[in-house]
Structure formats: C-alpha cells, structure tokens
C-alpha cells in the first residue's frame, strides 16, 4: 500500500476508534481536549478594549458594551421553553446591565458576565469562540428544554 493511502487509512481508523468514545462521553470534556490536541483549536483571551462596541447575535438581538462597565441589551434570546399548549416561548434579555470579565481558571474559560444593575444577578455570560485565528467573536448558550443552542455575538 502506498504511504499516502496508508496514512489516510490510519486516520480513518483512528477516527472510527475514537468516535464511539466521543459519542458515549456526553457532556465530559474529552471531546474538547481531543479538539485542542488534534486540531490545535484554543480559546483566546480578550481585554476590556476588545469587548467595547456593538455586538449582534446570530440568534437575534444586540449588545452594546461600554468602557464604563455598563451595557445595553436589546432583545437578546437567552432561554427557550414550552408553555402548557406546547408552544415554544422565548425569553429575551433587554435593558441596562453591568458587565465584568471573569478570569480563566483551571476549570473554566475566561468569560464576560452580564448582571442586572440593581441586584447583581447574572443574566448571561459569554466566552471567546473557539477558533484558530484569535479573538473576534463571543459565544453564549441559549438554554432550551432539550440541548443548549450556541449563539455567536459578532461586532
């Protein structure tokens, strides 16, 4: 067998061996670790200056982040659930919020957290989208009755 064909066959075999492990792993961090190790993807950090500006979500809504630690959120979907009639109902964040950067730890990625201006209750949090080129988008979870939906905020 030529070496190129053998190399391709070995990659396919490796994927077929690892795939059941990934599918059976569910919510564990193994898929993310394999992504990092095999493909070189990583989370990128951001600064306050990176965050200031107007962001639009691919799930709808906008976030305007200001340097003074405040933000205006307009119709940003943050939760979907079903009502008694089995209709999908979407909860949207809107209004004035405070924001701060939560540093990365051994167990968590760096996040920007948005809280209410009166009670400091967290409404939603976002982290840098995983890619190979550097920080440019934020990713947050839209919670749903089944699986969370990943939404991306872009400038």
**What 3-state class would DSSP assign to 99?**
strand
Average pLDDT in the chain: 75
Q: Over the stretch 92-118, which tens digit does the pLDDT of each residue have?
A: 999 999 999 998 888 877 889 999 887
> For residue 95, with 0-12 CB atoms within 10 Å meaning exposed, 13-18 middle and 19 or more buried, which class applies?
exposed
Q: Over the stretch 24-50, which tens digit does the pLDDT of each residue have?
A: 444 444 444 444 444 444 556 788 998
Global pTM exceeds 0.85: no
Backbone angles phi, psi at 150, to 5 degrees: -85, 125
> What six digits make up the tokens of 126?
């976002």
């Amino acid at each position: 067998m030529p070496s190129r064909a053998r190399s391709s066959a070995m990659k396919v075999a490796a994927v077929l061996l690892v795939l059941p492990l990934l599918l059976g792993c569910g919510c564990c961090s193994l898929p993310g670790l394999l992504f990092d190790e095999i493909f070189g993807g990583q989370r990128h950090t951001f600064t306050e200056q990176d965050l200031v500006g107007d962001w639009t979500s691919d799930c709808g809504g906008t976030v305007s982040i200001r340097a003074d630690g405040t933000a205006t959120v307009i119709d940003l979907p943050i939760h979907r659930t079903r009502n008694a009639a089995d209709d999908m109902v979407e909860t949207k964040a809107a209004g004035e919020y405070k924001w701060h950067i939560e540093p990365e730890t051994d167990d968590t990625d760096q996040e920007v957290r948005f809280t209410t201006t009166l009670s400091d209750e967290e409404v939603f949090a976002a982290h840098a989208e995983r890619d190979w080129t550097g920080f440019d988008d934020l990713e947050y979870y839209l919670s749903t009755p089944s699986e969370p939906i990943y939404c991306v905020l872009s400038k």
